[in-house]
Amino acid sequence: MKIYTTENPTDRSSPKRVKVGVADYAVAEAGSKLVTSGLGSCVGIALADVDAGVAGLAHAMLPYASADDADQADEDVPEDDRPAGAKYVNTAVPGLLHSMEEAGANRPQIEARLAGGSAMFEFNSADGGVGDRNVAAARKTLETYDIQIVGKDVGGDYGRSLSFEVATGELSVRRAHGETHVI
């Protein structure tokens, strides 16, 4: 009896898909594609060193691990003390950078792309909505680590799904209303 599956382990023509969940991050090498979905107010932080063939993607839910962290990015994370998760922007970025460097990335060559940070709900606060604060935290934290942002698709009032091509550093953003573009 022949068993049919959707997997074809001998097909090398399509890249390996690495799924990144909410409050998660992953690192992959050229020949892979990092994907995440369900970005509303969450922010997707895509980092790539194309020359080394290493990239990472984080799906962060909130800007800072504590209220005290809002005044500064978490620049004092020791090299060997990775954060346990990626729920917060200020802990996801150093953890992702550390994992990328372990995989062979060269920090001065790493470039960033941001997506998400939508205003999904009516929210009145002096601090702004969660989406705006997530994007601001990502910019501030990346600046702390001297990582240049080369593309972004942030804000709005719609969700997004991301597909990040490790070999090229291209981030494909599919918006909830159907439009797709590459940054």
| CA–CA separation, 35 and 118 (whole Å) | 18
- pLDDT (tens, 9 = 90+) of the chain, 183 residues, equals 434 434 444 454 567 999 999 999 999 999 999 999 999 999 999 999 999 999 999 999 999 987 665 554 444 444 434 345 689 999 999 999 999 999 999 999 999 999 999 998 776 666 789 999 999 999 999 999 999 999 999 999 999 999 999 999 999 999 998 899 999
> Closest Cα to residue 36, out of 183, 145, 171, 158?
171
Residue-range definition of the domain harbouring residue 129: 16-182
35 located within any domain: yes
| CA–CA separation, 137 and 18 (whole Å) | 25
The structure's pTM equals: 0.84
The DSSP letter of residue 181 is: E
Q: Please give the tally of structural domains in the chain.
A: 1
* CATH code at position 83: 3.30.1330.200
3 located within any domain: no
124 located within any domain: yes
91 located within any domain: yes
- Give how far Cα 76 sits from Cα of 23, 69, 141, Å: 21, 11, 12
